[in-house]
A and B are shown apart, each in its own frame.
Chain A
Amino acid sequence: MKRSLLPWLIVAAILLLLFPAVAEKFYLQLVTKIMILSIFALSLDLLVGYTGLVSLGHAAYFGIAAYTYALVSPAADPANVWLTLPLALAASAAAALLVGALVLRTSGVYFIMVTLAFAQMAYYFFHDTRIAGGSDGIYVNTRPDALLPGVDLANDLHFYYFVLAALAIVFALLAIILRSPFGRALQGIKANEHRMRALGFATLRYKLAAFVLAGTIAGLAGYLAAAKEGYVNPEMMAWHQSGTVLMMLILGGMGTLLGAVLGAFSYVLLQEWFSALTKHWQLLMGMFIVAAVLLLPQGLIGLHQLRMKPRLPRAEDERD
């Protein structure tokens, strides 16, 4: 399965490596943004595509890391990446651990709703209180400092490669994890959790580990997004954001790593294209989403195996 995707992966890697040579500043920033969203999509792919846990509140961990970065950054000087990044990741991981321990007891549509509930709590916490600038958000004046010789993250080109490196690391890490016994177990849980339990797996622990790992990687994306813009606001955690990243997965193909990256690229570029066509671009995007859900069922490999509601098997369910 992976072998047929490998040439595409190599093509993508080469394109991303060489892109800055032909791109203007604006497009460099655009692709940097897309790469950050790819990391976010990959984290959700681990959860939804490989473990079968549909979370509608994943943006919470994206936002929590972003806010942590903004809150611990000094007012005038650049923050230290090697101090602030682990801190932000830890914040997201802790939140994911707390929420996961509570929500993983539910399943199906209740799981979807309760993950949404926790994300909304985080959203309103930052939106309604003045802990971090409320609905107006807060600004960080400078990019963080990577403390590496010759690397200046304030330079858009350097930042691009920094993000590309992060994306590559996340991709490789997930590829390795998903091939490991742990990863196989996750996929087994998605296919049939009862069976895994009967085989002696403590599925709750596996699901929690996946939830925390996904939340941490989402945190990495959130940190990079905040570092890039120098601005965080509660909309980063809004349920719209959670819905958007799910959309990216459907578009690109759940259950494959490359699919998540492809989904992020396709979605953002589509959005740019539609925006250039009309100010009512959301109409086009909405229609596109409806069409994609109805007509592009591929890429959802095994999703209907998701244990949502016990029902009699139908002929269509066996299609793959």
Chain B
Amino acid sequence: MEWLIQILNSVQYGLLLFLVASGLTLIFGIMGVINLAHGSFYMIGAYLAFTLSSLTGSLWLAIPLGIVVSAALGLVLEWALISRLYRRDHLYQVLLTFGLILVFEELRSIIVGDDVHSVAIPAALAASLPLTDTLSYPVYRLFISAVCLALAALMYVTIQKTRFGMMIRAAASNPEMATSLGLDIRWIHALVFAAGVALAAFAGMIAAPVSSVFPGMGSQVLIVCFVIVVIGGIGSLKGALIAALLIGFADTFGKVLFPDYASIAVYLLMAVVLLFRPLGLFGRA
């Protein structure tokens, strides 16, 4: 029975990672931009959840507000900084977004402070389901998993089945051709970046009640996100989902079976995948 619960833990953790990483792979795949500040957006989301739910008294209100705020932030950042990086080398993107991480961390420290904060689980979801005679599973965690799956489906439908999704795919595979066919690449890039930021922030918001809100939460999640994107293949949501689940399993079972090497296992996984499939599981050249 315990193994089943650990599987449940792995899936839940993996799905949440997917949600955070999805924004990264979109930005990476469609715009060709490496964004090291992605973890910071996750953190910003969590802090938004804290401040907004304290102000409005409800997490349900805080989340839509937070999405709007983070999307706006994404648009501003894209216009001011990211748009200047498209034609530059990946090295510059790495460095500029590295600088952004420092800026966001310190701004957070100045504006909100360095304390650890809690965000209350909404009352409707605060129960726990008894699974064994000792262990219960929090309903809220199941809710998070459901939301992640729903979003994954939504993203898939948007990108594969809608006109907007078609434009995005066109812009990703051949920007010049897309432009000459009349698509406004600038707007597409701005929207995709804003969507990526909003996705990461949303992940931070819904995870806040279970992860609590603290400095350093961004960097903890950042590198894992990159590993997911690279294993899955840059730009592939399907790949990101599978990779995230793989990592959820590796991390969960690693912690129980060989805790000292659990973290190494994740990177080993990435190295092995890249050696056999240099573009990731579902990456395109």
Contact = CB atoms under 8 A, between A and B. Distances in A.
Any A–B CB pair closer than 8 Å: yes
Interface of A: 48, 54, 56, 102-103, 105-106, 108-110, 112-114, 116-118, 120-121, 124-125, 127-130, 239, 243, 246-247, 250, 280, 282-283, 285-290, 292-294, 300, 303-304, 306, 308-309, 312, 314, 316-317
B272 to A, nearest CB: 10
A289 B102 contact: yes
Contacts of B95: 243, 246-247, 250, 289, 292-293
A118 B267 contact: yes
A108 B89 CA distance: 10
19 contacts: A48-B91, A109-B90, A113-B226, A113-B230, A114-B271, A117-B270, A118-B271, A120-B267, A121-B271, A127-B263, A128-B261, A243-B94, A280-B109, A282-B106, A283-B110, A286-B100, A292-B95, A292-B99, A309-B32
Contacts of A316: 87
A243 B234 contact: no
A34 B161 CA distance: 56
Given A109-B234, A113-B230, A289 B89 contact: no
B99 A105 contact: no
Contacts of B226: 113, 116
Nearest to A134: B260
Give the residue among A121, A285, A287 with the most B Cβ atoms within 10 A: A121
A112 B229 CA distance: 13
A114 B260 contact: no
A110 B92 CA distance: 16
Contacts of A290: 81, 96, 99-100, 103
B65 to A, nearest CB: 26
Contact of A282 (B36, B88, B105): B105
A113 B260 CA distance: 23
A112 B267 contact: no
Interface SS majority for chain A: helix
Interface in B233-263: 234, 259-263
Contacts of A118: 267, 271
Nearest to B233: A110
Contacts of A130: 260
Interface of B: 28, 32, 34, 36, 81, 84, 87-92, 94-96, 98-107, 109-110, 176, 223, 226-227, 230, 234, 259-264, 267-268, 270-271, 274-275, 278-280
Contacts of B110: 280, 283
Contacts of B87: 314, 316-317
Give the residue among A102, A105, A120, A127 with the most B Cβ atoms within 10 A: A120
Contacts of A312: 176
A19 B105 CA distance: 37
Nearest to A293: B96
Contact of A247 (B98, B100, B274, B279): B98
Contacts of A287: 99, 103
A280 B99 CA distance: 14
Contacts, number: 138
Interface SS majority for chain B: helix
For the complex of A and B, 4 pairs with smallest distance between CB atoms: A286-B102, A289-B99, A283-B106, A286-B103
A129 B275 contact: no
A117 B260 CA distance: 17
Given A56-B94, A287-B103, A288-B99, A114 B274 contact: yes
A280 B113 CA distance: 12
Given A112-B94, A304-B89, A314-B87, A117 B227 contact: yes
Contact of A117 (B28, B34, B92, B271): B271
A120 B223 CA distance: 9
A124 B227 CA distance: 15
Given A110-B230, A112-B34, A308-B89, A117 B103 contact: no
Give the residue among A128, A129, A286 with the most B Cβ atoms within 10 A: A286
A121 B268 CA distance: 7
Contact of B84 (A54, A112, A294): A294
B34 A109 contact: yes
Given A117-B267, A243-B94, A283-B106, A294 B223 contact: no
Contacts of B230: 110, 113-114, 117
A75 to B, nearest CB: 24
